[in-house]
């Protein structure tokens, strides 16, 4: 999720659509806000996907972001802060219902859905890209689910994706909110192909006249070396612990500078968000389908609206920008099992029911 700034894009042009040859193009068009998602943008994307699914002239869909900084840094969290402080969270719940439904739609889309994950791709940006059938990263890509930083929990299917990463890599990324580059995005199952950023315009032009399967081999390159595999031993050992407290203790004791740094990162996050995130990722491993996991995520997201840490995290990061959140409770030991369990009960306006996976 991202801090949004005022952007000249209106609801009508915040998502640009066009058809070039055999490809339909969706461009998120709030570059000053790093293409932060709003409810009207989600609606626009969903309506366009419906139209193109029915249009035999559109053989593939391509999504990218305007500007030079990235595809999308997530949902517009200022709007969540405004909604909770003035409206009780109803607008946020409605947004998530439609956003998560869109994420499922992308995952099940019957035509090739090509996500150009260049630059920053975080939070809701992962939701509109990493569930697609063709996920392209570049040397500039930084992919992350950074929700624990604002007292929130990975959503948009993020717990599903991270739960399926090798070993405990997904747990590490979910708890710390760390971003990864192209190679590690492929390693963790968040992307499929690497294409140099300078080649994206040519790839896009070719998609107008040729099938995706014919175009990709001309542009895809071998991923550069990643970093996560070099840390797998301590990541798998430490994050296999049953509790966040034990994870932190293991990270501190293992004797690796990077592990100690990870522990210090965790200790700065919302204790409640960390414990709920661990439970959500572990739960996602047993739920199976993306649909069931996202129904769980909807429960957790809605519960966060009535807890203090989400609003406090947004305040500290993007409203006052003091970067000094005051978490409640302030320590991991003070977050009870009952409090964590409370995040997984049906919300006041009912569960999100996404049907069954095909």
Catalytic residues: 75, 124, 147, 155
Q: Tokens representing 258? A: 């990077």
Q: Tokens representing 144? A: 């992350």
- 185: β partners: none
Q: Tokens representing 289? A: 């389908």
Q: Tokens representing 24? A: 């339909």
Coil, helix or strand for 160? Answer: helix
Contact 137, 182 (CB under 8 A): yes
- Closest of 312, 315, 311, 318 to residue 3, by C-alpha: 318
Q: Tokens representing 136? A: 């392209």
Can you spell out the DSSP letters for 210-265?
S-HHHHHHHH-BPPPP-SGGGGHHHHHHHHTSSSHHHHHHHHHHS--HHHHHHHHH
User: Distances from the Cα of 292 to the Cαs of 40, 139, 148, 274, 286, in angstroms?
Assistant: 25, 33, 22, 21, 10
Q: Crossing angle, helix 290-305 and helix 271-287, to 10 degrees?
A: 160
């Amino acid at each position: 999720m991202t801090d949004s700034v005022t952007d000249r894009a209106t609801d009508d042009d915040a998502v640009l659509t066009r058809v070039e040859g055999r490809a339909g193009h969706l461009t998120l068009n709030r570059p000053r806000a790093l293409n932060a998602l709003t409810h009207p943008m989600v609606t626009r994307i969903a309506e366009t996907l419906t139209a193109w699914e029915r249009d035999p002239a559109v053989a593939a869909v391509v999504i990218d972001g305007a500007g030079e900084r990235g595809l999308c840094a997530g949902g517009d969290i200022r709007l969540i802060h405004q909604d909770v402080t003035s409206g009780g969270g109803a607008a946020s719940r409605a947004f998530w219902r439609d956003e998560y439904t869109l994420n499922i739609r992308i995952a099940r889309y019957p035509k090739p859905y090509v996500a150009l994950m260049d630059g920053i791709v975080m939070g809701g940006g992962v939701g509109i890209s990493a569930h697609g059938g063709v996920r392209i990263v570049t040397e500039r890509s930084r992919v992350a689910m950074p929700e624990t930083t604002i007292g929130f929990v990975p959503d948009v299917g993020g717990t599903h994706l991270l739960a399926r990463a090798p070993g405990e890599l997904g747990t590490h990324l979910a708890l710390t909110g760390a971003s990864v580059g192209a190679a590690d995005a492929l390693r963790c199952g968040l992307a499929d192909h690497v294409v140099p950023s300078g080649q994206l315009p040519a790839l896009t032009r070719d998609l107008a006249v040729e099938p995706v399967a014919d175009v990709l081999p001309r542009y895809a390159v071998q991923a550069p070396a990643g970093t996560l595999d070099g840390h797998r031993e301590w990541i798998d050992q430490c994050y296999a612990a049953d509790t966040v407290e034990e994870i932190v203790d293991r990270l501190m004791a293992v004797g690796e500078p990077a592990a100690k740094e990870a522990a210090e990162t965790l200790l700065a996050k919302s204790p409640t968000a960390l414990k709920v995130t661990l439970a959500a990722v572990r739960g996602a491993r047993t739920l199976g389908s993306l649909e069931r996991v996202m129904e769980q995520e909807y429960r957790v997201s809605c519960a966060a609206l009535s807890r203090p840490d989400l609003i406090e995290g947004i305040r500290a990061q993007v409203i006052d920008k003091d970067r000094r959140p005051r978490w409640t409770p302030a320590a991991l030991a003070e977050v009870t099992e009952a409090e964590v369990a409370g995040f997984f009960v049906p919300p006041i306006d009912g569960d999100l029911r996404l049907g069954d996976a095909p």
